[in-house]
Amino acid sequence: MILTILWLLFIGVVVWVLLLFIAAWLGSPKTYTLQKEVDLRLTYKRYTQIYPSVRITYPEYKRMQVERAYRKAVSSTKIKRMVR
Is 66 domain-assigned? yes
Is 48 domain-assigned? yes
**Domain enclosing residue 84, as ranges:** 40-84
Is 72 domain-assigned? yes
Cα dist. 76→30, 33, 60, 81 in Å? 20, 20, 24, 9
Higher model confidence: residue 6 or residue 51?
A: 6
Cα torsion through 39, 42, 48, 52, rounded to 10: -30
* Ramachandran angles phi, psi of 53, nearest 5°: -80, -15
Res 2 pLDDT > 70: yes
Higher model confidence: residue 62 or residue 70?
A: 62
Is 12 domain-assigned? no
Is 57 domain-assigned? yes
**Total number of domains in the chain:** 1
Dist CA 43 CA 65 (whole Å): 10
What pLDDT was estimated at residue 16? 94
3-50 confidence digits (pLDDT tens): 899 999 999 999 999 988 887 777 655 544 545 655 677 888 888 888
